Amino acid sequence: MTTYHDDIYATSGDNTLADEEAHVFNATGGDWDQLVDEAAALHEERIVVNMGPQHPSTHGVLRLILELDGETVTETRAGIGYLHTGIEKNMEFRTWTQGVTFCTRMDYLTPFFNEAAFCLSVEKLLGITDQVPERANVIRVLMMELNRITSHLVALATGGMEMGATTVMTVGFRERERILSIFEMVTGLRMNNAYIRPGGVAQDLPPGAIDKVRDTIPLVRKGLGELEMLLNENPILKGRMVDVGYLDLTGCMALGITGPVLRSTGLPHDLRKLEPYCGYETYDFDVITRTEADAYARLRIRIDEMYESLKIAEQCIDRLQSNPGPVMVEDKKIAWPAQLAIGGDGMGNSLDHIREIMGTSMESLIHHFKLVTEGFRVPPGQAYAAVESPKGELGCHTVSDGGTRPYRAHFRDPSFNNLQATAAMCEGGQVADVIVAVASIDPVMGGVDR
Amino acid sequence: MAEEKDPKQATANSNIDGTQSKASAQDKTAGPDQPASQAATSTAPNQPGTVVDRESGERLPAQPGTAPDPVVVGERRGMFGAVEGGDTSGYGGLRSPILFPGTAVRPYGSYFDEIADRLEGALDSGAGDAAYGEAIERVVVDRGELTLFVRREHLPTVARAMRDDPALRFELCTGVSGVHYPHEEGRELHAVYHLLSITHGGRRVRLEVTCPDSDPHIPSIVSIYPANDWHERETWDMFGIEFDGHPALTRILMPDDWPGHPQRKDYPLGGIPVEYKGATVPPPDQRRSYN
């Protein structure tokens, strides 16, 4: 046996199952050939494999417990919680505005969606949904749609890499980087932006941002064309993905699945169309559906959705050009007083603002101090707001007790919900198909565990 | 679609305004000369649907489409967060009740009346084992959202009717969120379900179920909405609400042997003081907070 009973970090524990003696193979630093010989000597085809939580193809720290009969998966269970950081609890100890800084880190590939869901729900609690300026909404839509592209690109890139297609990975990350540099220019950060705030956005677009977006869109479109040439009719890729991870409409409805997985069954369910927020009803775009309900259909949906997002982004920059309006609600009791500017050491407080509060206006200083340290009060009650994140319905349930901090903030993360479909998608398939099926759900463990 | 959305928005706004003005009217009736705790108790036993006239003190029927009786869920003391030590602000004795939106008066506005009527029809026709009045504790309309407070023993019946009745048809349950109100005696723990109907163009309903801390049991609806499997496990993990009938109610985010339920209000956030350039920053739950 390759078990190491003296290893304090990997003790073999109680190796007996309830009714039968089971053989345990530990693959910690042993020789694979030895392990295979041992397994072969047993003449037992049924084997339980613990895949993850540290496994390169489980999108972070997802633990899959697979029961195998030879190469066939007979049972699958997903174990989560390895990235639980208590974001919801932490938000109860910060002001409503500071909450944005926490929730943006949940699903770290979709920061703008996390922020938007939270802010929409806070705005609903405040009753200021209609007062958010038009320009702020357009910027939100622009950032969310660009973010949708980056998220889908990572889904394709990592999904491709898990199947051994490293070129897909390099192309995907290369294109993502172009958009991340837009995020960096606008928000100061590539990820974890904390840019969308209750009442609007943190600051207006810097000079040159619109031109940068306009210049980047054709480049990304060209890169997407490259990905399509590489993927769409690739016989190896189709061999790995077609009819893999099948989940039909009934299964999706029962398991509450939303996003590309649901749209791959042919149902055009998209919250941007069903209950538009941030003015999505005024944009011209299509909801992409396919009917094959397999991993390949989800891949194609993601590619086509990126083109739709580019279409929306183009409409956004046209509107931004013609609308120089404010980007924060007029109510000074809610609007964040500080202004940001790029300095020599990165984004920070604008020197003009510092000069005003420290040098000229005592009232400005008091106002700044009160709002930044104490925050604003939100009338008691609860609200639920949902946005269509790249992965599905991202909902935010916030409760206020009238104080300056959330009484409770709960996120319904689409990855958390959609991972429940792992068993339905994988059981009865091959071990190698598990990777493809899980990748087609596109779970991000930061969002799953929060 | 567009025609449906507009009246919804309009009623939502009017509801907010109505609620707020009524709530402030209640505050005024309590007045500065009355202790706030008395005002709190006087609102609680009110007959739903009546308001006290400010001048005559007479009970009058409330305006349709309003929520006249706010519910007291807690009390706020003082201001500026001066809880311990000497309070020099002069506000230390201030006690203000935390008022949540109260029972709504028909018509609820938007599509909410239709949902209430259909649910009443579905439950009273004997499809389930409980009548509407028995199963639904109260109805709250606030900020353009409909909340049905469901008595916990009737939750599966209501959930099944919400899913199966063709006129209701809420296909998706987007999970359950727990909320802990330690000051609401006998109903400290709340489980909040959000339902979505794709068939009826994105209608949403919130079901809220309460249970006492001493008996934290709520029937599971995993057999009706299998999607709730992990969500109920999460709520058990974080709040300690036991969902009876769940196929495998185990911890999901915290380790299996974790003691306590972290999202409860009596569970500390934890953290250590951090020293930076000679100054010490206390952990977040021990910093000054404004209540």
Tokens representing A351 are: 């020197």
Residue A163: its pLDDT value, please? 85
Residues A67 and A206 in one domain: no
Instruction: Tell me how close the Cα of B72 comes to any Cα of chain A, in angstroms.
Output: 10
Residues on chain A touching B238 (C-beta within 8 angstroms):
88
Does residue A156 carry a pLDDT above 80? yes
Contact A115, A195 (CB under 8 A): yes
Specify the pairing of strand B217-219 against strand B242-244.
parallel
Q: Please indicate, yes or no, if residue A15 is contained in any of the structural domains.
A: no
Of the partner residues B227, B251, B285, the one whose CB lies closest to the CB of residue A417: B227
SS3 B8: helix
SS3 label, residue B59: strand
Q: How far is B68 from chain A (nearest CA, A)?
A: 15
Same domain, A60 and A152: no
A60 and A161 housed in the same domain: no
Domain count, chain A: 3
Q: What percent of chain B lies above the pLDDT cut of 90? A: 27
First to last CA, chain B: 42
Nearest-angstrom CA–CA distance, B240 and B251: 10
A217 pLDDT higher than 50? yes
Residues B65 and B142: their CA atoms lie apart, in Å, by: 10
B16-52 burial string, b = 16+ CB within 10 Å, else e?
A: bebbeebbeebbebbeeeeebeebbeebeebeebebb
Would residue B138 count as lying in a domain?
yes
Indicate whether B172 belongs to any domain.
yes
Verify whether the Cβ–Cβ distance A256 to B76 is below 8 Å: no
Does a structural domain hold residue A106? yes
Average pLDDT, chain A: 86
Which pLDDT does position A58 carry in this prediction? Answer: 67
- Asked whether residue A49 falls in the same domain as residue A177, the answer is no
Q: How many residues does chain B have?
A: 291
- Look at residue A181 and tell me whether its pLDDT is greater than 90: yes
Residue found under tokens 């944005």: A100
Tell me whether residues A403 and B76 touch, CB distance under 8 A. yes
Alpha-carbon gap, residue B229 to B282, rounded angstroms: 38
Contact in structure between A99 and A91 (CB atoms under 8 Å) = yes
Q: State the ipTM, two decimals.
A: 0.84
Residues A28 and A125 in one domain: no
Paired strand residues for A382: A399
Please tell me the predicted confidence (pLDDT) of residue A369. Answer: 87
The rounded radius of gyration (Å) of the Cα atoms in chain A is: 24
CA distance A26 to A59: 23
Backbone angles phi, psi at A283, to 5 degrees: -100, 150
- Domain with B190, as residue range(s), is 111-244
Verify whether the Cβ–Cβ distance B143 to A383 is below 8 Å.
yes
What does the pLDDT look like over A305-338, one tens digit per residue? Answer: 999 999 999 999 999 988 887 888 888 888 888 7
- In whole angstroms, what is the distance from residue A364 CA to residue A359 CA? 10
Q: Which amino acid is at B260?
A: G
Same structural domain for residues A368 and A381?
no
Q: Among residues B58, B80, B69, which one has the least CA distance to residue B22?
A: B69
Nearest to A111 by CA among A81, A82, A150: A150
Tell me the C-alpha distance between B94 and B90, whole Å: 9
Q: Is residue B56 a part of any domain in this protein?
A: no
Of A375, A398, A431, the one marking the end of a domain is: A375
| Same domain, residue pair A176 and A268 | yes
User: Which CATH number goes with the domain that contains B163?
Assistant: 3.30.460.80
What are the CA-CA distances from residue A87 to residues A83, A115, A277, A408, B234 (Å)? Answer: 11, 13, 25, 11, 14
Asked if A269 and A366 sit in the same domain, the reply is no
Q: Give CA–CA dist B105/B67, Å, rounded.
A: 6
Which residue among B9, B178, B226 sits closest to A255, beta carbon to beta carbon?
B226
Cα–Cα distance, A226 to A104 (Å, whole number) = 31
B contacts of A275 (beta carbons < 8 Å): 202, 204
- Model pLDDT, residue B217: 92
CA of B17 to nearest chain A CA: how many angstroms apart? Answer: 9
pLDDT of A121 higher than 80: yes
Task: Using DSSP bridges, classify how beta strands B274-276 and B242-244 pair: parallel, antiparallel or unpaired.
Answer: unpaired
Measured between alpha carbons, how far is A376 from A370 in angstroms, rounded to an integer? 9
Domain count, chain B: 1
For residue B174, give the nearest of A81, A382, A395 by CB distance: A395
Which residues pair with residue B275 across a beta bridge? B280
Specify which residues B59 forms β-bridges with.
Answer: B52
Q: What is the CATH number of the domain that holds A260?
A: 1.10.645.10
A406 within a domain of the structure (yes/no): yes
Q: Look at residue A10 and tell me whether its pLDDT is greater than 50.
A: no
Give the Cα-Cα-Cα angle B27, B29, B33 (nearest 5 degrees).
Answer: 90
What is the Cα–Cα distance from B181 to B190, expressed in whole angstroms? Answer: 8
Q: Is residue B256 part of a domain?
A: no
Selected for mutation to probe chain B from A87, A408, A416, A420 (highest B CB count within 10 Å) is A408
Could you say which residues of chain B have pLDDT below 50? 1-48
**Residue A423: φ, ψ to 5°:** -60, -45
**Residue B269, in any domain of the structure:** no
Position B189 in a domain: yes
A150 pLDDT above the threshold of 90: yes
- The reply to whether A318 and A423 lie within a common domain is yes
Regarding predicted confidence, which is higher, B211 or A22?
B211
Which residue in B174, B235, B241 has the most chain A C-beta atoms within 10 A of its own C-beta, making it the best mutation to test that interface? B174
- Of B126, B129, B132, B122, nearest to B163 by C-alpha is B122
How far from chain centre, in Å, is Cα B41?
A: 19
Which of A84, A93, A403 is facing B253, going by the closest CB pair?
A84
Residue of chain A whose alpha carbon sits nearest to that of B261 = A89
The reply to whether A290 and A220 lie within a common domain is yes
Whether B70 is covered by a domain: the verdict is no
Two tokens, residue B48? 């739903």
Pair (A220, A277) in one structural domain: yes
Task: For residue A18, name the pLDDT band (cuts at 50, 70, 90).
Answer: very low
Residue B239 to residue A296: CA distance in whole angstroms: 40
Domain co-membership, A142 together with A229: yes
Report the distance separating Cα A306 and Cα A211, nearest Å. Answer: 20
Per-residue DSSP letters for B130-155?
A: S-HHHHEEEEEEETTEEEEEE-GGGH
Mean pLDDT, residues A212-227 taken together: 93
According to DSSP, the β-strands at B274-276 and B172-180 are: unpaired
Tokens found for residue B138: 């109260």
Residue A69 within any structural domain of the chain: yes
The domain of A366 spans: 335-375
Return the minimum-mean-pLDDT range out of A41-55, A174-188, B154-168: A41-55
Q: How near does any CA of chain B get to the CA of A38, in Å?
A: 32
* Tens digits of residue pLDDT in A354-405: 888 888 988 888 888 888 888 888 989 999 999 999 999 999 999 998 888 9
What is the C-alpha to C-alpha distance for residues A372 and A46, in angstroms, rounded to an integer? 60
Amino acid identity of B216? P
- What is the rounded average pLDDT of the residues A45-54? 78
- Give A94's contacts in chain B (Cβ within 8 Å): 284
- Residue A156 in any domain: the answer is yes
